[in-house]
């Protein structure tokens, strides 16, 4: 187990390194300079380049990035908040916490709503409840996040005025409602579908029949015996969910004007603020990679049958 975790952490670092290299190459493949404006002269650009070390050969620039990142220094912003330390922008101006909170709440909602819904559907298989939930979840995984987010915004904030239009600071409970729901809706439906399928699989197993024959009550049967086994596919799916929630947060954050990391990343790409692009990419990727690691280890705990070293497909 310990060996496996060490190996996975090493691979995670390797992946992050690869992501840094790819990001660096892509950033530098964009023609033009971050300092290019209508007023700038070639001298000004050269001076700015020299100031931020952009005149050095690419491999040295890349090496500097890696060296500084290992020391925990994410560099300074070139453009968007010139001269400010990027780690200050990300961690101390609340962007990271804002996005993380939004993402975790969405994840939590997907799990605590999705899994029970799946259980209810499987338990009432073939009844109208199952039918209704199937229709709901099937449609749910086909609605794009931005359509849902905008419709919620128009209905509840603009027309009915029950909820605030701008959730910018996410201070009150009310301001969380719409962003979290629109971010987690797809995943709630997907988790519910997944739980239903694997629950039905589990219910048809022999050990469930044995337990039933021994007189275990139905709700105990579902909650204790069937659920535990049917959770495995759901847990495997949580890694991709995290990546998806980060993707979704780009849309949700721009729809609800939340100044989070997702919105900041999009802006930094459009502004070509190299250190900010690099930092946001690495932080978001690290989040996804850590989540995948946690999921894989949780996987092992839930199902001891899985041998981690031979994980093919």
Partner 1 sequence: MDGKFAKLSPFQLDPDKIPDTLSPADFESAAESEKASMVEKHKSVSYWRDAWRRFKANTVSMVALGIFILCLFFAFIGPSLIPYGYGAQYRSSQKLGPFEYSKGEELIRSITDDCDAFYATALQPGSKTAVSKGNYFIRYKGATYAFTLAKAVEKSVIMLAADAAEPLLLVKESDIKDGSVTQSTPIELSETAAEDAKELKLVRNVVPHVFGTDSAGRDIMARTMYGTRVSITIGLVAALIVLIIGSIYGAISGLAGGAVDFIMMRIVELIYSIPEVLIVLLLQVVLKDPLQAWFDSGTTAFARAMSDLGSGIVSIFITFALLYWVTMARIVRGQVLQLKKQEYVTAATALGASGGRIIRRHLLPNCVGQLVITTCLQIPSAIFLESFLSFLGLGVSAPMASLGSLCSDALETISLYPYRLVFPGVILTVVVLTLNLIGDGLRDALDPRLKK
Residue 10 vs 50, nearer CB to partner 1: 10
Site string for partner 1, 225-254 (x = CB under 8 A): ------------------x--xx--xx--x
Query: For residues 129 and 216, which CB has a smaller minimum distance to partner 1 in the complex?
Result: 129
Candidates 7-15, 74-82, 85-93, 223-231; binding stretch for partner 1 (CB under 8 A): 7-15
Binding mask 179-218 for partner 1 (x = CB under 8 A): ------------------x--xx-----------------
Residue 297 contacts partner 1 per CB under 8 A: no
Beta bridge partners of 85: 76
Q: Which two tokens stand for residue 100?
A: 């993380």
Taking a C-beta distance cutoff of 8 angstroms, is the pair 284, 30 a contact? no
CB distance 261 to 284 below 8 Å: yes
Site map 15..34 versus partner 1, x via CB under 8 A? x--xx--xx--xx-xxxx--
CA-based nearest residue to 74, from 295, 297, 274: 274
Interface region with partner 1, contact rule CB under 8 A, candidates 8-16, 82-90, 172-180, 223-231: 8-16
Instruction: Looking at residues 130 to 149 of the shown chain, list those that interact with partner 1 (rule: CB under 8 A).
Output: 138-139, 141-147
Of 58-66, 84-92, 106-114, 275-283, the window that binds partner 1 (rule: CB under 8 A) is 275-283
Kindly state whether residue 151 participates in binding partner 1, applying the rule CB under 8 A: yes
Question: Tokens standing for 160?
Answer: 């009915």
Count of CB atoms situated within 10 Å of the CB of 54 = 18
Q: Which is nearer to partner 1, 136 or 216 (CB)?
A: 136
Based on CB atoms, which residue is closest to partner 1, 293 or 302? 293
Q: Is 281 in the site for partner 1 (CB under 8 A)?
A: yes
Q: For residue 266, state whether it binds partner 1 (rule: CB under 8 A).
A: yes
Among 6, 10, 58, 154, binds partner 1 (CB under 8 A): 154
Minimum Å distance from CB 258 to partner 1?
Answer: 15
Residues forming the site for partner 1 (CB under 8 A): 11-12, 14-15, 18-19, 22-23, 26-27, 29-32, 138-139, 141-147, 150-151, 153-154, 158, 197, 200-201, 243, 246-247, 250-251, 254-255, 265-266, 269-270, 272, 277, 280-281, 284-285, 288-289, 292, 313
């Amino acid at each position: 187990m310990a060996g496996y975790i060490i190996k996975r952490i090493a691979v995670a670092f390797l992946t992050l390194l690869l992501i840094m290299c790819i990001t660096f190459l892509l950033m530098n493949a964009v023609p033009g300079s971050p300092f290019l404006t209508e007023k700038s002269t070639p001298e000004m650009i050269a001076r700015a380049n020299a100031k931020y070390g952009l005149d050095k050969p690419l491999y040295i620039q890349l090496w500097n990035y890696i060296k500084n990142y290992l020391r925990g220094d994410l560099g300074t912003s070139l453009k968007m908040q010139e001269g400010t330390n990027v780690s200050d922008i990300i961690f101390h101006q609340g962007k990271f916490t804002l996005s993380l909170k939004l993402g975790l709440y969405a994840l939590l909602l997907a799990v605590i709503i999705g899994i029970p819904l799946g259980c209810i559907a499987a338990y009432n298989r073939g009844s109208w409840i199952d039918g209704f939930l199937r229709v709901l979840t099937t449609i749910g995984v086909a609605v794009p996040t931005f359509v849902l987010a905008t419709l919620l915004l128009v209905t509840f904030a603009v027309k009915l005025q029950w909820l605030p239009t701008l959730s910018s600071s996410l201070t009150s409970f009310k301001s969380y409602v719409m962003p979290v729901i629109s971010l987690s809706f797809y995943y709630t439906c997907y988790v519910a579908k997944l739980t239903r399928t694997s629950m039905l699989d589990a219910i048809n197993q022999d050990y469930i029949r044995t337990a039933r024959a021994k007189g275990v009550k139905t709700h105990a049967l579902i909650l204790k015996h069937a659920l535990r086994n049917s959770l495995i596919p759901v847990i495997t799916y949580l890694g991709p969910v995290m990546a998806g929630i980060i993707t979704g947060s780009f849309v949700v954050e721009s729809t609800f004007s939340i100044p989070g990391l997702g919105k900041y990343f999009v802006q930094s790409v459009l502004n070509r603020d190299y250190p900010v692009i690099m930092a946001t990419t690495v932080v978001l990727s690290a989040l996804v990679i850590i989540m995948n690691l946690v999921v894989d280890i949780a996987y092992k705990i839930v199902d001891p049958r899985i041998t981690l070293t031979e994980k093919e497909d």
